[in-house]
Structure 1
Amino acid sequence: MHQPRAVVVGAGIGGLTAAGALHRRGWRVTVLERAAELEPVGAGIALAPNAQRALDVIGLGDAVRAMSAWQGEGGLRTPSGRWLSRTTQDAAAERFGGPVVVAHRADLVTLLAARLPQGAVRTGTPARITDPGTAERPATVRTGGGEELAADLVVAADGIHSAAREVLFPGHPAPRYAGFTAWRFVAPAPGRPFAPHETWGRGALWGTVPLHDGRVYVYATATVPAGTRFPAGERAELLRRFGTWHHPVPELLAAVPPDAILRNDVYRTAAAPPAYHLGRTALLGDAAHAMAPSLGQGGCQAIEDAVVLAHHAASADGGGAGTVRALAAYTRDRLPRTMDVVRRSTRVGRLFTLSSAPACALRDAVVTAANRVGPRLALRSLDGIADWRPPRESYAAGTRRSRTAPE
């Protein structure tokens, strides 16, 4: 019996989840990653209940839930420390069936890679799609070393500036600069206790969230022109912008080594591609629907993509016509939902890129008033997103649904 073969281009969160989900469905998988190692970056990832339920499909949901470190109250603040709104993980669990877990990306990558057979992931292997395939012929991928791989299915998970997207849809508008840049780092926990928070200033944002290993994940954004460089360095720029903000911001900046700070300009999809597939090749994650991090859903939507893709691919059995039909179903399921999340993330992002004092004062007053009506109002931005669950038949035999997964 023919064992269908899938080649995944890109070993980020989405690519590895897709490989794991396809492997679980009986596909032979090869993951090609241009970087020399898997996710060595010191950054976190927010995994809302929708992503946790998707990870249940490959048996990792409970392992992620065990990484939850946020206890008690947290919420939204001003740079002086005044609370604009508060919420708890219990409120999120009541509304969406589970808390939002912030994990270290490297920990999640390790869990995902361990679900794959030895040798399935090939690092230091750049690759490009040379033929997306049709119902009559396989898709092909060529590595930087000249090796050509034929596959029943190719999954293009090669990120925001996807070369595969250009091959599938040449001339399609590239992702657009979202108007702000983002810093990320992991630091030792501060000496004094703190509540998890996101702080909105004028054209700037800071977030501090505990990790399960005792460290703290920090993210920050600021509105600057695309491609801006800071001659004094990233840490000096963070100190200039955030050094006088409330505890624990100054202490975290004092603790982080300059070379541990990551920064990337933020891009979002300018227009939906015609489809998330062509022939036997599927776009996944940022390659299909880059979004602002405003709702913490970039990685979550990539994980959703992966399990939905594997769900449809399971019916194809590697046959050309079946694979093409499966990918058309994948596009129908995923394109409307993910583009809605792109738009919603963009709208929320506009709130923390406001820079005029009157506009920021009005924004803060509205958030404060909404919090007085009911703290759970702050969670409504994730309604219809965090309560998603995968198709029932995606749960493989022997995979237990979490107690928090709604029926």
Structure 2
Amino acid sequence: MGLHAVVVGAGIGGLAAAVGLQRTGWEVTVVDRASVLADEGAGISLAANGIRALDALGVGAAVRAAGRGQYTGGTRTPRGSWLARMDGAALERALGSPIVGIPRAELHRLLRAALRPGTLRTGVTVTRATTLPGGARARVEYEAADGPGAAAEGGCAEADLVVAADGIGSRLRTALFPAHPGPVHSGSTVLRAVTDRPLDLRTDFEITWGRGAEFGHIAFADGRAEWHAVLNAPAGVRHADPLAVLRRRFAHWHAPIPELLAATRPEAVLHHDVGELATPLPSFVSGRVVLLGDAAHAMTPNLGQGACQALEDAVVLAAELEGAADGGGIDTALARYDGVRRPRTTAVAAAARQAGRMGQQLSHPLAVPLRDALMRLAPSGLAVRAILRHAAWTPPLTRGFAGE
């Protein structure tokens, strides 16, 4: 038998890690506490680094086919005037791929389809992951899950590696790093949905900045669209009818914002507070447990890099672990992963936080028009260069990834 990894969490990062590890020779089990994977999250934009990571995992072509390239759009004011235009063609020339918009449910489906049959187990709540004495193995403890389809009755299992991809509220991270303050509220809350029907949209992607508010949309290949509304708000604020609240809040913003809201069913609206790991972790590795994605570096969505960084994590982890044949090999590979990924994700998270403060979160009545004026005066290539700074990433070439 080969080396075995247990991946905790069947989100984008966990599924990608499992695909990568299987392609580089590992046996993998993915467990998720949900009995039924709902694939919530509406839609997602994937920059070139995320698409390149998916290429390395063998699913990039399928994602491109299912998604829609973002060539047109940009940033606007509530009245509709342009602050900055998107040049998707320039990005594609520079990076080999435009930004791609795709429903999250479709991305999850494509990643699951790339796994070997029997890899995924749902209804498994992992409560603890520890490195066994000697350091060469890890133990996963799990408990019974509630609800239809629950698969676990409680117990434990051993593996050569545990990948903690259990999200921003990671139980495993809390247990491994009890002194870390954990996630904090960013000061923003986000409501989002996918329209119930296609719309005649003139752009592929837009965001609009008001005072302490952002509204954006991503057009999908089938004509529907994902929209999101981000507002400055304390954590925990919820509304009995969130769609009605948004229709009032954005009633006088430019088209197609009212049309997007009108094309949405009230029950389709998702509402989540925006959290982040504002304090970087001291390490992404503890013995034979490695953290990945939001469990390691949850960031605000202002650069659209959260999922892309998780995909990068998955590819780098699999590349470093390819061919590891003994305990020393695995430990060295994990140390390299930490050394590569922690500095990059820390920098991207800091840049996303700053982008939010200067963008959606900015609310001072004098600061907002000043920002808008500076954006209009900025050279046309500045936005492209800003995206290139984070999206210009190349996957490591390994035997498992060769030819993709």
Q: Into which bin does the TM-score normalised by the smaller protein fall? A: over 0.9
Measure, in 1, the Cα distance between the counterparts of 2:399 and 2:42.
30
- 1:26-65 correspondence runs (5 A): 26-41=25-40, 43-65=42-64
- 1:55-134 correspondence runs (5 A): 55-70=54-69, 72-133=71-132
Measure, in 2, the Cα distance between the counterparts of 1:22 and 1:135.
23
Q: Which amino acid aligns with 1:302?
A: A
C-alpha distance after superposition, 1:75-106 (max 9, x if no partner):
11011111111123102112322100011111
The answer (yes or no) to whether the contact 1:97–1:387 under 8 Å persists in 2 is: no
| Secondary structure of residue in 2 paired with 1:129 | strand
- 1:198-209 correspondence runs (5 A): 198-209=207-218
Q: Does 1:320 align with 2:327?
A: yes
Let me know the Cα RMSD of the aligned residues.
1.6
Structure 2 CA distance for partners of 1:217 and 1:254, relative to 1, 3 Å: same
Structure 2 CA distance for partners of 1:156 and 1:51, relative to 1, 3 Å: same
Structure 2 CA distance for partners of 1:133 and 1:44, relative to 1, 3 Å: farther
C-alpha distance after superposition, 1:92-139 (max 9, x if no partner):
112322100011111111111111121210111111224134654411
Measure, in 1, the Cα distance between the counterparts of 2:21 and 2:133.
20
Structure 2 partner of 1:405: none
User: Shift of residue 167 of structure 1?
Assistant: 1.5
Structure 2 CA distance for partners of 1:182 and 1:95, relative to 1, 3 Å: same
Structure 2 CA distance for partners of 1:135 and 1:220, relative to 1, 3 Å: farther
Structure 2 CA distance for partners of 1:66 and 1:135, relative to 1, 3 Å: farther
The answer (yes or no) to whether the contact 2:198–2:223 under 8 Å persists in 1 is: no
Q: Any gaps of 5 or more consecutive residues in structure 2?
A: 144-152
Q: Does 1:384 align with 2:399?
A: no
The answer (yes or no) to whether the contact 2:316–2:396 under 8 Å persists in 1 is: yes
2:318 aligned to which of 306, 310, 323: 310
Structure 1 partner of 2:148: none
Structure 1 partner of 2:232: 223
TM-score by length of 2: 0.93
- 1:148-297 correspondence runs (5 A): 148-188=156-196, 191-195=199-203, 196-230=205-239, 232-297=240-305
C-alpha distance after superposition, 1:284-318 (max 9, x if no partner):
0000001000000000000000010011111323x
Structure 1 partner of 2:347: 340
Q: Which amino acid aligns with 1:286?
A: D
Structure 2 CA distance for partners of 1:166 and 1:366, relative to 1, 3 Å: same
The answer (yes or no) to whether the contact 2:39–2:108 under 8 Å persists in 1 is: no
Q: Which amino acid aligns with 2:236?
A: G
User: Shift of residue 391 of structure 1?
Assistant: 0.9
Q: Which amino acid aligns with 1:204?
A: A
User: Shift of residue 189 of structure 1?
Assistant: 5.2
Q: Which amino acid aligns with 1:354?
A: L
Measure, in 2, the Cα distance between the counterparts of 1:133 and 1:366.
56
The answer (yes or no) to whether the contact 1:39–1:105 under 8 Å persists in 2 is: no
Count of equivalent residues: 393
Q: Does 1:330 align with 2:337?
A: yes
Measure, in 1, the Cα distance between the counterparts of 2:140 and 2:245.
42
Structure 2 CA distance for partners of 1:395 and 1:316, relative to 1, 3 Å: closer
Measure, in 1, the Cα distance between the counterparts of 2:41 and 2:334.
34
Measure, in 1, the Cα distance between the counterparts of 2:173 and 2:338.
14
Overall identity of the aligned pairs, in % = 47
Measure, in 2, the Cα distance between the counterparts of 1:211 and 1:285.
25
The answer (yes or no) to whether the contact 2:135–2:288 under 8 Å persists in 1 is: no
The answer (yes or no) to whether the contact 2:7–2:29 under 8 Å persists in 1 is: yes
Measure, in 1, the Cα distance between the counterparts of 2:249 and 2:386.
27
User: Shift of residue 192 of structure 1?
Assistant: 4.1
Measure, in 2, the Cα distance between the counterparts of 1:367 and 1:117.
48
User: Shift of residue 378 of structure 1?
Assistant: 1.4
Q: Any gaps of 5 or more consecutive residues in structure 1?
A: 401-407
The answer (yes or no) to whether the contact 1:85–1:367 under 8 Å persists in 2 is: yes
Q: Which amino acid aligns with 2:227?
A: V
Measure, in 2, the Cα distance between the counterparts of 1:338 and 1:86.
27
User: Shift of residue 380 of structure 1?
Assistant: 2.6
Measure, in 1, the Cα distance between the counterparts of 2:116 and 2:250.
45
Measure, in 2, the Cα distance between the counterparts of 1:73 and 1:263.
27
- 1:134-149 correspondence runs (5 A): 136-144=135-143, 145-149=153-157
C-alpha distance after superposition, 1:124-162 (max 9, x if no partner):
111122413465441111121222110101000000011
| Secondary structure of residue in 1 paired with 2:391 | coil
| Secondary structure of residue in 2 paired with 1:128 | strand
Measure, in 1, the Cα distance between the counterparts of 2:366 and 2:94.
33
Q: Which amino acid aligns with 1:288?
A: A
Measure, in 2, the Cα distance between the counterparts of 1:69 and 1:85.
21
| Secondary structure of residue in 2 paired with 1:45 | strand
